[in-house]
Amino acid sequence: LVSRTKKPEDTIVDVNGHKIGDGHPSFVFGPCAVESYEQVLAVAKSIKAKGLTMIRGGAYKPRTSPYDFQGLGLEGLKILKRVADETGLSIVTEIITPSHLEEALEYIDVIQIGARNMQNFELLKEAGMVNKPVLLKRGMSATISEFVNAAEYIISKGNTEIMLCERGIRTYETATRNTLDISAVPILKQETHLPVFVDVTHSTGRKDLLLPTAKAAIAVGADGVMAEVHPDPAVALSDSAQQMDIEQFDKFYEEITRFMNTH
Ligand code: PEP
Ligand code: MN
C-alpha cells in the first residue's frame, strides 16, 4: 500500500493544517528530550518566531544504556501539551510501547516511532489503528526494504498518514555517529508515495555537519528536515554534544532558508 505503483500521487500529511509533502520542505526542531517546561518553552518560542509549526522532544527516551536519562514519561507529555496550548505548535514525540499510545494521544499531534522500534511490529500495528500522523524513523541497521515494510505494517492497519525519516545507518565509519544514507531519500521518493524527512542530528552526531547535510537533504528532494535544539546543550540530559543552541539554530535556519530560496 505504500508503493508508488499502487498510488502514483504524493501523500500529503496534514498536521493541524500544516501540509507535509506538498513541495515545500517542512522542519521539525526541538530538544532531544523534554527536561522542563522552561526548557521546552525556550525552544518553542524560537521555533514560533521563525513561523514554523512543529516542535519535537522526547518524553520517553529509548537510551542505549539503562543508566542514562530515560525521559520524564507522562510528565513530559504534559509539558509538551502545555507548551503546545500556549504557542499553537504541534507536538512530535516518540512513543516506545503500545501501552503508552492511547494515553499519549490526548497530548500529542504526531507519533514518532524511533530507530530502535522500527521493527516493533505490535507498536507499528497499534500506530496503524489510530487517527494521528506517524513519523517513522529508519532502524540503524535496517535496509530500505525493511524500512518500507515497517511503513507497510502501519498503513495495512488503515493509517495512511505516514512520514518516513532517514536518520543514518550503522557502518564502519566513525567520523560521524551514523552514516547518512542520502540516496535513501530519492529511492524512498521513487518507491513510495510518502513524505521523506532527514534527521541531520542523529545521522551525523556533529553540529558542524548539520547545515551541509540539511542542504543535501533538500537538494535530493527531502520533504522535511529534523534537527535538535536545546537552550543550553552543555547541560542537556541527552545528546549534549550534538544539539544546537538557540543562536546556532537561528543561524542554521537563516542559512537553510537562504539555500532554499536560491536553489
Ligand atoms: C530521537 O529522534 O529522539 C531519537 C532517539 O532518534 P533515533 O530513534 O533516530 O535514534
Ligand atoms: Mn537525540
pLDDT digits (tens, 9 = 90+) for 163-172: 999 999 999 9
Give residue-wise pLDDT tens across range 71-104. Answer: 999 999 999 999 999 999 999 999 999 999 999 9
Give residue-wise pLDDT tens across range 122-153. Answer: 999 999 999 999 999 999 999 999 999 999 99
> What confidence category does residue 206 fall into, taking pLDDT thresholds of 50, 70 and 90?
very high
Cell of 204: 551525523
The CATH number fitting domain 13-262, selected from 3.40.50.920, 3.20.20.70, 3.40.50.261, 3.40.309.10 = 3.20.20.70
> What confidence category does residue 252 fall into, taking pLDDT thresholds of 50, 70 and 90?
very high
- Tell me the C-alpha to C-alpha distance, in Å, between residue 102 and each of 94, 113, 168, 173: 13, 14, 29, 39
> What pTM was computed for the model?
0.98
pLDDT score at 70: 96
Choose which residue among 34, 56, 112, 141 to substitute to test ligand 1 binding: the one with the highest number of ligand atoms within 8 A of its C-beta.
Answer: 112
- Give domain limits for the chain: 13-262
User: How much is the CA Rg of the chain, to the nearest whole Å?
Assistant: 17
Specify the ligand 1 atom closest to the Cα of 62. 5
How is 109-129 classified by DSSP, letter by letter?
A: SEEEE-GGGTT-HHHHHHHHT
Cell of 60: 520517553
With the C-alpha atoms ordered 209, 215, 218, 224, is the resulting torsion angle positive or negative?
Answer: positive
Tracing cell 522526547 back to the chain, one arrives at: 58
Instruction: Compute the mean pLDDT over every residue in the chain, rounded to the nearest whole number.
Output: 97
With the C-alpha atoms ordered 146, 147, 150, 154, is the resulting torsion angle positive or negative?
Answer: negative
ipTM more than 0.95? yes
Q: Which residues line ligand 1 (CB under 6 A)?
A: 32, 58, 94, 114-116, 137, 167, 199, 202
pLDDT score at 186: 98
End-to-end CA distance of the chain: 33
Choose which residue among 178, 199, 243 to substitute to test ligand 1 binding: the one with the highest number of ligand atoms within 8 A of its C-beta.
Answer: 199
pLDDT score at 69: 95
